[in-house]
Amino acid sequence: MIDVHVHLHPPRLGDAIRRHFTERGWPLPHPFDPASVAGTLKAHGVERFCFFSYAHRPGMARAVNEWIAGAARDLPGAVPLGTIHADDPDCVAVAEHALGVLGLGGFKIHCSVQRLAPDDGRLFPVYERVARAGKVLVLHAGTMPYGDPHTGARRVEAVMARFPELRVCVAHLGQFEVGEFAAMTERYPHLYLDTAMALTLLATPYVGAVPADVPTELLLRHQDRILFGSDFPLTPYPYEEELRWLETRRLPADVARKILATNAARWLGLSG
């Protein structure tokens, strides 16, 4: 298995994130330290995983990227993705350092947390470098758990139209615009969607997404563009609950293999 959506954060940032969620009634029962997270993934059959953090304000991306690169050295099978912030005057230099010197596998942008639209023109030089290097981009650009001026399918469409060669994964199946994002994968061959917290009923009280709104037919139709992601350790339930939908929807074994591993290997450039 390959899990494309895992969070690891520098300790002080992780503590702040934990306080933010728990103060809002979102329980976080899992340890945040990298060794514990990697151990849980391994225990559930995950051989490779992407992990990331984010710079929620200017001036911190370079330090977070250094921490990410350091953490990855102790995590066999990890694919570390960096962070950037468009308000940094040296944003492009930060990106080049992350991709080159640090060897990170791409970037994650959380449009809502960073208050950063994916089609912000200041990011275009970064996208060019990601595409040229054959790296990947994860976008939390859907409107789950709330919409804001920085999110939405229309903004991602603008990015893909300008950079069709960019290997992009939209987190959480693009909830609450699953249909729009799924249709977009038919127009752009390098666009993927991950399943993190989008297909389990246990997530509904926290994110508002109802798995019944994602018909099994959609998963079957777009089986080549869906990647397994868990959002671990930010999930308020055990890791295995992010896999429960595979049983309840009774997907064919070959479709499950694509979603659990084959598609991610292709997206990450681990296979042809």
Q: What pLDDT band is residue 146 in, cutting at 50, 70 and 90?
A: confident
In this prediction, residue 271 has a pLDDT band, given cuts at 50, 70 and 90, of confident
Dihedral through CA 137, CA 81, CA 269, CA 126, nearest 10? 40
Beta partners for 167? 136
64/140 Cα distance (integer angstroms): 18
Please provide residue 26's backbone torsions phi and psi, each rounded to the nearest 5 degrees. -105, 105
CA distance 119 to 202: 32
Bridge pairing between strands 106-110 and 78-80: unpaired
Task: Output the CATH code of domain 2-267.
Answer: 3.20.20.140
Structure confidence at residue 145 (pLDDT) = 87
Give the tens place of pLDDT for each residue, 36-78.
Answer: 999 999 999 999 999 999 999 999 999 999 999 999 999 999 9
Average pLDDT of 75-88?
Answer: 97
Asked if 126 and 136 count as a contact pair (C-beta separation under 8 A), the reply is no
The answer to whether 176 touches 142, Cβ cutoff 8 Å, is yes
- The residue written with tokens 């934990």 in the block is 18
Section 215-228 average pLDDT: 98
Residue range 207-227: mean pLDDT, rounded: 96
Write down the domain spans for the chain.
2-267
